[in-house]
Structure 1
Amino acid sequence: MRVGFILQVQVIVALGALTSVHSKLELTNIKCISHDPDFAGFEYCLLKSINRSYKYLSLKVKLFKVPITDIKVNLALAKKSSGYNPFLYNITVDACRFLKYPKSNPVIGYMYDFFRAHSNMNHTCPYDHDLLVDKVTTNFINKHVTEVLPFPEGEFRFRSHWIAYGILRATASVYATLS
């Protein structure tokens, strides 16, 4: 009887310790590739470190063949383990439909909130101007992802393929470590 009580107390203490642990996400790199330089090009794609605890990423895509009325985005999360392997998410979204009906899916609704807060991609198609993602910090990501979803520690890659009119036009990959 006493052993069962001690075990219950140990489990409660362990669960309490687990709920007080917070993950820390650190951005480590960003890579942007224009697969069709006649269609779009990156003016900048950077990860800027202000100090040891504050980094942000920004990118600007110059569009050369506007207006754009058909664009799909493939989003994939991979975890490093003998190379980067698929992990949890790999979805393709019709960007025009996504922007027209942002709350049709909870995950997609979250992405819409992200885009409204950090980019100029906040209206429906057609797109006839450059695309800008400005100063996305790890604080934003930690608040909305690691505090809500339990993620394992490790190195991750978030990759987005931008497909316009059925042709791959650009890829942006963000690398991060979760500890």
Structure 2
Amino acid sequence: MVAVVVNLFLIRKVHSLVEFTNIKCEVVDPDFCNFEYCFLKSVNRTYKYYVLKVNLYKTPVTKVKLNSAIYKFANGYKPFMYNVTVDACKFLKNPKSNPITGYIHGFFKDISNMNHSCPYDHDLVVDKLSTQFFNDRVTKILPFPDGKYLVQMNWIAYDILRAVFKIYFVLS
């Protein structure tokens, strides 16, 4: 009888988990930038992370917009929750100005060198965006329902699309 009660308690305590499935980094304007590396590293069954480095060829960059969108899979990826475009330079001067962009920026701000305002006169790096950190943000800070997701970021400099970054993950 005690075992049944313990099992029922444990079943109630099941938590959602994030599993990264893919990453895609696409350069739209190779004269402006290039991805030196962009990959998903699987250390073991439970520890995976993303790393990427973007080489900027035309520095300093003083005018950047970011279009961020979240998609959920349902017979193809469909818009889910957010699709926002923000002036990244203005946002980074005042991060509290846009809570949605602040939420998305929160995934990267502590593990990248993209945490200061313009100009950018150096390459951009994201170092080890882990499943544990990602899981915390999509299950505790802003809970998502189970499913397959895509986070797409379109990087626009001087009003020209320069690069597209996509993270695919499953929440179960």
Task: Return the TM-score normalized by structure 1.
Answer: 0.86
1:162-173 alignment runs, 5 A limit: 162-173=155-166
Q: CA deviation at 1:132?
A: 0.4
SS in 2 for 1:27: strand
Per the alignment, residue 51 of structure 1 pairs with 44
Q: Percent identity?
A: 58
1:142 aligns with 2:140: no
Give the superposed CA RMSD: 1.8
2:171 aligned residue (158, 167, 178): 178
Pairing 1:19-168 to 2, within 5 Å after superposition: 20-168=13-161
The alignment covers a number of residue pairs equal to 164
Do the aligned partners of 1:99 and 1:112 also contact (CA within 8 Å) in 2? no
Q: TM-score, normalised by structure 2?
A: 0.89
Q: Distance in 1 between matches of 2:79 and 2:113?
A: 29
Deviation at 1:109, TM superposition (A): 3.0
Which structure has the greater CA radius of gyration?
1
Q: 1:65 to 1:153 in 2, by over 3 A?
A: same
Higher helix share: 1
Alpha-carbon offset, residue 17 of structure 1:
8.8
Deviation at 1:112, TM superposition (A): 4.0
Unaligned runs of 5+ in 2: 1-8
Show structure 1 runs of 5+ residues with no match. Answer: 1-15
Alpha-carbon distance in 2 for matches of 1:131, 1:38? 16
Question: Does the 8 A contact of 1:22 with 1:147 survive in 2?
Answer: no
